[in-house]
Every structure is written in C-alpha cells, then in structure tokens.
Amino acid sequence: MKNLKKYSIALSILAVPLLAGALRVEVGSPAGNQEALAKQAVLVVRTTACHSPEKTTMTATAEGVVNGTRKSIPLKLISLSMPGTFAVTRQWPEQGTWAVKAIATNPEYKDYATSAVVPVEKNTAQWAAVKHYYHAPSEAEVLASLN
C-alpha cells in the first residue's frame, strides 16, 4: 500500500508537464465578444499555446456538401484584439450542409496539430455537435460532422 501511494504521487507529478503548454483549438459563440459581434462573426476560434504562441498558425475552411457535391472553401480569419483569437464570418453559400474546420499548428509541437469541427446551420453553430481532435481531422471525420 505504501508503494502504491508513492507511485500515485510520482505519476501525478509526471502528468502535470504533459498537460502544461498544450496546443489546443477552442471555439465559442461570438455572443460574449462585442468585437466579434461587430464583425458579424458566426463563431470565434482561439488557440492556446504556452510555448512560442506567436509561432502558432490557425487555418479554417468551410466544409460542405451542396447538391451531393463535396465542397471546401478556405476561410479568411479576422484577427481580434485578444492574441490568438479570430472571428469566423459566413463565407460559404446558404445552400447545402456546412461545418467550419479550424486547425492550429506550431513548429514547437512537431508533427502535431489540434483542431475543431463545428457544424453550422444557417448562421448558427451547432454547439452540441462540436468535435475536437488532436490531429487534423480526416475526411471521414469531417463527413461525419456533415451528416
């Protein structure tokens, strides 16, 4: 029992550095951000990175199916005053089924990406269906969000 306690303490101490400095994509409603609302954002994406946050790159695409045809539209992210935070405006057609795919990468986190896929109906993100990944989402993962 004494050894188990030692191992538990050691494991908890070792686990902290694994979580510290994590690169992550966070998505949220523009409702709480006056700047994003002024820019008519559908959603806000933010990246977290403790190691060299200035080197983090965020990209986003609108992923959709229109009349049975798969579409992918690169999105222009609008930088907000909070570093690493961006407004996403509607840059895709009204017809079809759509999701926003956001991916963050940073050279300090070699061979690693973090992402989120947010299904969108009209101009409203479907928050209950948001998926976070610790990799760039596969085509199958994007399609699952569109169904």
CA angle 103, 89, 102 (to 5 degrees): 5
Q: Who's near 39: CB < 8 A, 6+ residues apart?
A: 78, 80, 87, 89
Catalogue all structural domains in the chain, each as residue range(s) with its CATH number.
21-146 (2.60.40)
AA letter at 4: L
State residue 2's pLDDT score: 54
Closest CA to 76 of 63, 59, 52, 64: 59
Q: 69-74 and 78-79 as β-strands: parallel, antiparallel, unpaired? A: unpaired
**pLDDT score for 107:** 85
Reduced to 3 states (helix: H, G, I; strand: E, B; else coil), residue 97 is strand
Counting every residue, how long is the chain? 147
Output the pLDDT for position 104.
92
Run means of pLDDT, 10 residues per run, the chain, 147 residues: 45 42 87 94 88 83 96 97 92 96 89 92 92 95 94
